[in-house]
């Protein structure tokens, strides 16, 4: 397991097994707090996330919360996470000690509140009565044989029932809308409505919360605020306002009143009920039901804290820093709290209004290309991605950029998970379906030790049927539909973060089809992946490039040519976006460089591999002399593809600069081999 931890040492140190993890990358150093910390402090560790620094915070509030919880519940109990939470850590490749959610924290919070028993009993009766009556109608439909006839009506009834039961159930419905391993597709489609259609709460209540959190009247902060909500969601709603001091337009996100105790109470009841369903869940999904509730609870409590969302925005700003095609709103941290979030107003056109986008003269194809590339960068490069990119949260800017809002629901993929996803792509390209099935186990879809042999033929059938007609006819919805059938037939559980990945891809593909019905998602996605394989300096991706280029020990010349053509296509499409034209002269040099497929580092790494790796050297020599002939023609074809993309003088300078190092490494390698022979 690729655990990612930092030991946090304070004046009152935590137990040795307590670690603090960053978001998806190994952290080599320790953070040592001073012996006397101020009342409020914020440690920041800058590390490299690819080429971007990653910020890492340790707040005094979190430490004090941890100490108070330890005092009330006992250090031993809190330092030992539940088996379900340990499984989540194992699957993610990260450990998270300062969770807002844990079963123990929820239980202690609920049971220590005033009138807890009465509140739990009354809420339990309400839930059991409402859901019990609904399930009885489903059973009646099944008995009289009309269950298939009334599916749409029952799905609509379920959506209305979840709205009546409150924000926890609305959120649960939104999650179920992306869980084909739990409910059927027609119910999922109905529950998708919950993502956009939630009743708002009164304006005056919202304004009172804003004033309470900011500690001053609205008029002293904002010169103008909208009289109607701009959007309403399960946990909060949004207003548009103007800052009095600067005149800047902002969006204010306000949390629903008294929602936190309701959420904690419902999570306690959810997990109590789940404990009775573990046997069924293990049989159907290969995991206990408590794990599913823990995944849900962890994400829900994160969304409930708007200070975390503000940090998410900062991380996205950092990731896309210098990218002229993506707009992330600025956050006004001095005005934010756990219940109020103030961020820059995005003056763009929502993707819910495709006609307005077309009428604005925006290059739709260029905009969609930028959107797909931004989504793939989040998944495969940053490991931090927007978990809810529905059309209302995505904007088309008039200068060709794509903009995102609502960062409460984001998900993290560890370095390990990102590499496994890329492995799965490589295995799909190489048609290695046994390894694809093993990738499912490594990603947490299957329980460890599960026999994957029955799944291999199903995966082969799904993939070959989906791509058999070529990239132009491929779409994720058809693959997902077939995969849903596989989920019903095998003990497959879709981990929460990957349900968000699936939803993210499906939603963005849906936006593409809405704006341009003949848009080919994979015709943009494949060039991006090809460019990453050819140019990314990550050694792990270099290994995967070699796996792609060799099949059964034979070098794939045609595959290399296709990768280069696709990568050049990605560079051309991205650099032609109008957003590049709006960059100031300071950034023009960098952008001019990005208009070419820079293969300098790849060529240098390839040369080093040829010199030092005997296995690779043998394979390449065989590739050039296969079938007892020199494959000069193939080599020339490859050179013609890249000659306009390579700065020959620059490569020569780089090679000359590295020549002493190469000679030294070569001599060391030779001496080691001689000594080992003796």
Helix axes 496-515, 289-304, angle to 10 degrees: 60
C-alpha distances (whole Å) from 442 to each of 102, 416, 417, 419, 436 are: 24, 9, 8, 11, 10
Q: Give the dihedral sign, CA 342/347/353/354.
A: negative
Enter the tokens of residue 331. Answer: 């956050």
Helix axes 60-73, 103-111, angle to 10 degrees: 70
What distance in Å separates the CA atoms of residue 378 and residue 326, rounded to the nearest whole number? 12
From the list 93, 100, 80, 102, the residue with the least C-alpha distance to 5 is 93
Do residues 41 and 64 lie in contact, with contact meaning Cβ atoms separated by under 8 Å?
Answer: no
From the list 595, 596, 150, 175, the residue with the least C-alpha distance to 387 is 175
In this structure, the number of other CB atoms found within 10 A of the CB of residue 410 comes to: 25
- Give backbone dihedrals phi and psi of 347, rounded to 5 degrees, phi first: -95, 75
Give SS3 for 127: helix
Using the 8-state DSSP alphabet, how is residue 14 labeled?
P
What distance in Å separates the CA atoms of residue 249 and residue 344, rounded to the nearest whole number? 6
What distance in Å separates the CA atoms of residue 534 and residue 545, rounded to the nearest whole number? 7
What distance in Å separates the CA atoms of residue 375 and residue 382, rounded to the nearest whole number? 10
Residue 66, classified by CB atoms within 10 Å of its CB into exposed (0-12), middle (13-18) or buried (19+), is buried
What distance in Å separates the CA atoms of residue 501 and residue 388, rounded to the nearest whole number? 9
Give SS3 for 287: coil
Radius of gyration of the chain (CA): 27
Enter the tokens of residue 302. Answer: 């994160």
Enter the tokens of residue 515. Answer: 């704006």
Residue 649, classified by CB atoms within 10 Å of its CB into exposed (0-12), middle (13-18) or buried (19+), is exposed
What distance in Å separates the CA atoms of residue 158 and residue 133, rounded to the nearest whole number? 11
Using the 8-state DSSP alphabet, how is residue 253 labeled?
E
The DSSP annotation for 357-418 comes to HHHTT--HHHHHHHHHHHHHIIIIIISEEES---GGGEEE-TTS-EEE---SSEEE--HHHH
Residue 363 is a catalytic residue: no
Beta partners for 385?
Answer: 411
Helix axes 455-467, 433-443, angle to 10 degrees: 110
Enter the tokens of residue 489. Answer: 């037939």
What distance in Å separates the CA atoms of residue 12 and residue 471, rounded to the nearest whole number? 58
Using the 8-state DSSP alphabet, how is residue 349 labeled?
E
Non-local (6+) Cβ contacts of 279 within 8 A are none
What distance in Å separates the CA atoms of residue 619 and residue 625, rounded to the nearest whole number? 10
DSSP E strands, 491-620? 550-551, 554-555
First to last CA, the chain: 37
Cα atoms found within 13 Å of the Cα of residue 594, Cβ hemisphere only = 16
What distance in Å separates the CA atoms of residue 436 and residue 238, rounded to the nearest whole number? 43
Instruction: Name the catalytic one among 294, 388, 536, 598.
Output: 388
253 φ/ψ sector (left φ>0, alpha ψ -120 to 50, else beta): beta
Do residues 420 and 398 lie in contact, with contact meaning Cβ atoms separated by under 8 Å?
Answer: no
What is the tally of helices (H) and strands (E) in the chain? Answer: 29, 19
Q: Which residues are catalytic?
A: 388
């Amino acid at each position: 397991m690729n655990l990612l931890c930092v030991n946090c040492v304070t004046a009152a140190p935590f137990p040795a097994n307590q670690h603090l993890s960053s978001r998806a990358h190994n952290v080599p150093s320790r953070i040592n707090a001073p012996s006397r910390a101020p009342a409020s402090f914020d440690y920041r560790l800058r590390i490299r996330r690819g080429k971007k620094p990653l910020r890492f915070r340790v707040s005094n509030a979190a430490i004090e919360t941890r100490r108070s919880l330890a005092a009330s519940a006992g250090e031993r109990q809190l330092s030992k996470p539940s088996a379900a939470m340990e499984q989540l850590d194992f699957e993610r490749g990260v450990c998270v000690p300062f969770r807002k959610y844990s079963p123990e924290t929820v239980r202690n919070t609920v049971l220590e509140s005033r009138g807890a028993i009465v509140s739990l009993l009354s809420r339990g009766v309400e839930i059991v009565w409402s859901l019990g009556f609904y399930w009885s109608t489903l059973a009646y439909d099944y008995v009289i044989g009309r269950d298939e006839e009334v599916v749409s009506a029952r799905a609509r009834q379920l959506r209305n029932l979840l709205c009546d039961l409150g924000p926890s159930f609305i959120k649960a419905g939104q999650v179920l809308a992306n869980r084909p391993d739990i409910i059927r597709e027609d119910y999922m489609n109905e529950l998708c409505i919950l993502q956009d259609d939630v009743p708002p709460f009164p304006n005056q209540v919202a304004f009172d919360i804003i004033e309470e959190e900011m500690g001053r009247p609205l008029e002293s902060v904002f010169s103008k605020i909208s009289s109607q909500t701009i959007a309403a969601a399960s946990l909060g709603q949004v207003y548009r306002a103007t800052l009095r001091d600067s005149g800047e337009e902002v969006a204010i996100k306000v949390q629903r009143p008294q929602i936190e105790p309701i959420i904690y109470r419902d999570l306690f009841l959810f997990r109590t009920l789940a404990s009775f369903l573990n046997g069924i869940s293990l049989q159907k999904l290969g995991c206990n039901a408590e794990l599913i509730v823990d995944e849900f609870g962890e994400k829900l409590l994160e969304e409930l804290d708007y200070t975390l969302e503000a940090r998410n925005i900062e991380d996205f700003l950092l990731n896309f820093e210098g990218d002229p095609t993506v707009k992330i709103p600025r956050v006004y941290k001095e005005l934010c709290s756990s219940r109020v979030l103030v961020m820059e107003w995005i003056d763009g056109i929502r993707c819910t209004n495709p006609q307005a986008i077309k009428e604005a003269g925006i290059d739709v194809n260029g905009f969609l290309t930028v959107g797909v590339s931004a989504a793939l960068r989040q998944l495969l490069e940053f490991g931090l991605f927007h978990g809810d990119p529905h059309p209302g949260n995505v904007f088309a800017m008039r200068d060709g950029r794509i903009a995102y809002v609502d960062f409460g629901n984001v998900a993290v993929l560890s370095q390990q998970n990102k590499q496994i996803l890329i492995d799965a792509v490589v295995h799909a390209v190489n048609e290695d379906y046994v390894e694809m099935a093993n990738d499912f186990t490594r990603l947490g879809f299957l329980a460890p030790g599960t026999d994957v042999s029955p799944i291999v033929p199903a995966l082969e059938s799904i993939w070959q049927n989906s791509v058999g007609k070529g990239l132009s006819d491929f779409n994720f919805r058809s693959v997902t539909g077939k995969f849903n059938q596989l989920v019903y037939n095998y003990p497959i559980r879709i981990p929460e973060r990957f349900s968000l990945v699936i939803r993210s891809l499906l939603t963005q593909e849906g936006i593409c089809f809405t704006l341009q019905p003949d848009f080919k998602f994979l015709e943009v996605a494949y060039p991006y992946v090809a460019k990453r394989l050819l140019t990314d300096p990550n050694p792990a991706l270099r290994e995967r490039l070699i796996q792609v280029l060799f099949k059964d020990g034979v070098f794939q010349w045609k595959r290399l040519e296709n990768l280069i053509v696709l990568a050049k296509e990605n560079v051309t499409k991205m650099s032609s976006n109008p957003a590049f034209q709006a960059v100031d002269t300071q950034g023009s040099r960098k952008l001019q460089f990005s208009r070419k497929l820079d293969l300098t580092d790849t060529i240098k790494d390839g040369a080093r591999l040829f010199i030092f790796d005997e296995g690779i050297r043998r394979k390449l020599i065989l590739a050039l002399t296969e079938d007892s002939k020199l494959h000069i023609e193939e080599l020339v074809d490859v050179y013609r593809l890249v000659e306009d993309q390579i700065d020959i003088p620059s490569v020569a300078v780089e090679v000359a600069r590295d020549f002493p190092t190469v000679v030294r490494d070569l001599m060391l390698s030779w001496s080691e081999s001689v000594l080992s022979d003796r």
